[in-house]
Amino acid sequence: MRTTDILTLVKKYGTPLYLYDASLIAKRCRELKRYLPEMDLFYACKANTNKEVMKLIVHEGYGIETVSPGEIAAARGAGVPVSKITFTCGSIDEEELVGVVKQGVRVHLDSLLQVEMFGKRFPGGAISVRLNQGIGAGHHSHVITGGPDSKFGIDIAQLKELDRLVKKYRLRVVGLHQHIGSNILDAAMVAKAMRVLFDTAMAFPDLEHLDFGGGLGVPYKPGEPGLDLAALGKKIAQLSKAFSKRYGRQVAMSFEPGRYLVAEAGMLAVKVTDIKRNPTKTFIGVNSGFNHLIRPAMYGSYHEVVNITHPRGVFEKVTVAGNICESGDVFAKDRMIASANIDDILIIKNAGAYGYTMSSDYNLRPRPREVVIK
């Protein structure tokens, strides 16, 4: 995305402003399909539920993975048929579960209680269950979704209890699901988790699909190596072929990429509103905050910040701070950035995933606008 285009859009729509590069989203979609040709791909829309973004990803041949009735409605609104929507449960009640099942969406049950709720309402039915097999990975403890400290999935030690409920309600386990964490850049870790799920799958004779979750990562820091998709694709093909031979037949397999498709395509444009040169630190104040992009405050996440108004200025060490009345409202701490003036435009990169979707109107400051550049 050219700097002149960004500045033109900022002049038209104001700041703060989320900008998404549609061509880069399409490129990422095609990359995954090229390297994972045998996999069904469901976009984890929690990363970015912008309707135009979802339409673009669906146009590239992806289904949609959802975690709430609202996300199902958004997927339907983007023209996605229920046959291409999945729903991963998490701490839901019976009313929500039944409502989703009755829509015909594939549901991944997350607990023994949910299996029992399903069995009581739909005895003799087919189910998919999410398992916690003790493997977790991710860039922060808050995004690790497997292992003993994770709230997600049925623990592998509870398979006997799962079997008891399956027999009690005459259910068939036709799907297994797992998700180990978010922003994983190590192909070996993904392969390890797949191996473990393949081993577990041997105990389930009626399987129709295996879902390995999402978590495929992107580099946030300049120079940081990305996920080696070629190596991952090769390993996945080997593991899948070996499993099919061992299992005795083919089983549909899927991934749920979210961040990988949209993170790098998005940026948050903000305006410099204050400059505070203290004796030991310089603060650059901007007209946005963690109510618009919470990742740095919540996870300590790194986002590159660039002054696009004066990109060739003298670089100085600054802390880029937001306008929310909280000490933790900081986008970048002690970062070398081109010296800024009031009204300069800064862009916060790699903000296409878990940016606007996690935003709020805290301090009663309105959410930014979103623009998809096609």
Same domain? 228 vs 289: no
Picking from 257, 276, 297, the residue at the C-terminal end of a domain is 257
pTM: 0.94
Same domain? 46 vs 173: yes
Same domain? 209 vs 63: yes
Q: What is the DSSP letter of 40?
A: E
29: in domain = no
Same domain? 55 vs 177: yes
Distance, in Å, from the CA atom of 251 to the CA atom of 63, rounded to the nearest integer, reads: 18
Which residues fall within 8 angstroms of residue 102, CB to CB, at 6 or more apart?
none
Same domain? 189 vs 291: no
Same domain? 249 vs 275: no
Tens-of-pLDDT digits for all 374 residues of the chain? Answer: 899 999 999 999 999 999 999 999 999 999 999 999 999 999 999 999 999 999 999 999 999 999 999 999 999 999 999 999 999 998 999 999 999 999 999 999 999 999 999 999 999 999 999 999 877 443 434 334 445 777 889 999 999 999 999 999 999 999 999 998 878 899 998 999 999 999 999 999 999 999 999 999 999 999 999 999 999 999 999 999 999 999 999 999 999 999 999 999 999 999 999 999 999 999 999 999 999 999 999 999 999 999 999 999 999 999 999 999 999 999 999 999 999 999 999 999 999 999 999 999 999 999 999 999 98
196: in domain = yes
348: in domain = yes
Its domain, for residue 106, covers 36-257
What CATH number is attached to the domain comprising 224? 3.20.20.10
pLDDT attached to residue 134: 79
Instruction: Find the farthest-apart pair of alpha carbons in the chain and give their distance in angstroms, rounded.
Output: 71
Which residues fall within 8 angstroms of residue 171, CB to CB, at 6 or more apart?
115, 118, 119, 123, 124, 125, 126, 127, 165
The residues assigned a catalytic role are 325
Q: Which residues pair with 128 in a beta bridge?
A: 108, 175
pLDDT attached to residue 292: 98
Q: What is the DSSP track for 239-269?
A: HHHHHHHHHTS--EEEE---HHHHTTTEEEE
Picking from 227, 257, 287, the residue at the C-terminal end of a domain is 257
Q: What is the per-residue burial (b if ≥16 Cβ within 10 Å, else e) of 25-45?
A: bbebbeebeebbeebbbbbbb
Same domain? 241 vs 364: no
Picking from 233, 257, 281, the residue at the C-terminal end of a domain is 257
Same domain? 179 vs 274: no
Same domain? 182 vs 295: no
Same domain? 109 vs 230: yes
pLDDT attached to residue 180: 86
pLDDT attached to residue 147: 53
Same domain? 247 vs 285: no
